[in-house]
């Protein structure tokens, strides 16, 4: 099914997804592989020609997911690991994707997940520091604005933090922005890419519609509605799932898309640029040292952090609302590790 030519057909909805222009392939681990995101993410990564080996870990269910996914007829090898096999799961791994942790229910904010997810993420990051200290870590678990500083702080404590290797996955905001703008503009999502900066929760999600040819003409009520939908797209899914969790399938798509972008950068492809939440100098002078903006991905992870560029007056307002909230979320994560 996924011969070279069919893989190209399958990748057609997005030319940046599952492109395999480079020769090297990589061992990838998914921590939380048994969950709502972890399962479809593992399937999508099994289909990515740049993945040579998949290591699936969860405190429950990963060996079953691995047995299932391993029957897919692509070249990569798949292994599942049980709760007491975290170190084995991480051996030789170059990229670690973390969707482990609890999701929201209606009425909760992402920050309400902090008490449960902070220690899950910290413990997983400690294991990565011990077994695969040079790995690139892609954090999906919420609240991302805090879990990324927790991962960074944990690695720092272990003496192995490399700011080029730690990423908060904000790709779902970018995916939603393109999709929702396409619907408003009557265009294809392939033509409505939007840079989304800031963080990953309500007002910290700042879409830069003025920098998009389709987005810049949208004003007034239509603009306010579109921004609100991008900022609160996660709530839309939480409400519709009615207590059964949050976005899983679109998140798996976004997680696989970001992983593929990173793998292409690691393989030497030039010009791979996408927003991601990283250790960043952009607002360091305001005490905010993690921020999502366009990042070029290269042979060693973060290659270049792009500035946010020219903002409209409305976007200046969104950014002003983002920064204090983001600062609070980052400080909460740091305080947890300190
Ligand atoms: N960054 C983003 O854009 C998004 C983030 N999320 C977040 O992703 C996380 C996971 O969401 P779902 O997959 O829907 O939840 P889920 O509950 O379906 O799956 C979570 C999985 O993590 C596992 N897990 C718990 N503790 C673990 C540990 N110590 N080690 C390994 N695995 C562990 C559980 O056994 C479960 O299989 C949530 O925190 C959610 O808020 C969800 C959607 C978008
Ligand atoms: O809304 C949530 O809790 C999950 C999430 O981060 C998203 O869908 O953007």
Topology classification of domain 2-168: Rossmann fold (3.40.50)
The pTM (predicted TM-score) of the whole model is 0.95
Mutate to test the pocket of ligand 2, among 108, 139, 237 (most ligand atoms within 8 A of CB): 237
Q: Return the higher-pLDDT residue of 6 and 280.
A: 280
- Residues β-bridged to residue 291: 278
Helices marked H in the chain — which ranges? 4-10, 38-46, 62-69, 86-90, 114-131, 144-157, 171-185, 220-231, 233-241, 249-266, 313-337
Cα distances (Å, whole numbers) of residue 62 to 43, 44, 90, 134, 227: 12, 15, 14, 24, 37
pLDDT at 243: 96
Q: Which two tokens stand for residue 156?
A: 């720092």
Point out the ligand 1 atom lying closest to the alpha carbon of residue 172.
Answer: 3
**Interval between CA 202 and ligand 1 midpoint (Å):** 19
Crossing angle for the helix pair 233-241 and 171-185, nearest 10 degrees? 90
pLDDT at 81 over 70: yes
**Interval between CA 123 and ligand 1 midpoint (Å):** 14
pLDDT at 2: 32
Question: What is the overall mean pLDDT for the chain?
Answer: 94
Distance from C-alpha of 234 to C-alpha of 231, rounded to nearest angstrom:
8
* Cβ 237 under 6 angstroms from ligand 1: no
CATH number for domain 171-337, candidates 3.40.50.880, 1.10.599.10, 3.90.110.10, 3.30.70.980: 3.90.110.10
254-303 residue pLDDT tens? 999 999 999 999 999 999 999 999 999 999 999 999 999 999 999 999 99
Q: Is 306 a catalytic residue?
A: no
Ranges for all domains in the chain classified under CATH 3.40.50.720: 2-168
Please state the rounded mean pLDDT for residues 300-327: 98
Contact 28, 93 (CB under 8 A): yes
pLDDT at 131: 98
């Amino acid at each position: 099914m996924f011969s070279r030519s069919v893989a190209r057909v399958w990748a057609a909805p997005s030319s940046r997804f599952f492109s395999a222009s480079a020769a090297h392939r990589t061992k990838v681990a998914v921590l939380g592989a048994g969950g709502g995101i972890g399962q479809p993410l593992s399937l999508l990564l099994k289909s990515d020609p740049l993945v040579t080996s998949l290591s699936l870990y969860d405190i429950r269910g990963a060996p079953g997911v691995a047995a299932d996914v391993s029957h897919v007829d692509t070249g990569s090898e798949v292994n599942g690991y049980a709760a007491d096999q975290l170190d084995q799961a991480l051996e030789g791994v170059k990229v670690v994707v973390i969707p482990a942790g609890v999701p929201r229910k209606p009425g909760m904010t992402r920050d309400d997940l902090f008490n449960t997810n902070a220690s899950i993420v910290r413990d997983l990051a400690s294991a990565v520091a011990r077994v695969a200290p040079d790995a690139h870590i892609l954090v999906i678990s919420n609240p991302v604005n805090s879990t990324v500083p927790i991962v960074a702080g944990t690695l720092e404590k272990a003496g192995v933090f490399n700011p080029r290797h730690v990423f908060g996955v904000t790709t779902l905001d970018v995916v939603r922005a393109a999709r929702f703008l396409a619907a408003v503009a009557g265009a294809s999502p392939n033509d409505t890419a939007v840079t989304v900066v800031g963080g990953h929760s309500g007002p910290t999600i700042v879409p830069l519609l003025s920098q998009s040819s389709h987005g810049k003409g949208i004003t007034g009520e239509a603009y306010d509605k579109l921004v609100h939908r991008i900022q609160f797209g996660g709530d839309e899914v939480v409400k519709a799932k009615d207590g059964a969790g949050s976005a899983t399938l679109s998140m798996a798509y976004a997680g696989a898309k970001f992983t593929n972008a990173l793998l292409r950068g690691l393989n030497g492809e030039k010009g791979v640029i996408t927003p991601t939440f990283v250790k960043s100098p952009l607002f360091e002078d305001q005490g905010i040292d993690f921020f999502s903006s366009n990042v070029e991905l290269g042979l060693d992870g973060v290659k270049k952090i792009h500035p946010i560029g020219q903002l409209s007056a409305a976007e200046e307002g969104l950014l002003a609302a983002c920064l204090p909230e983001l600062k609070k979320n980052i400080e909460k994560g740091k305080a947890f590790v300190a």
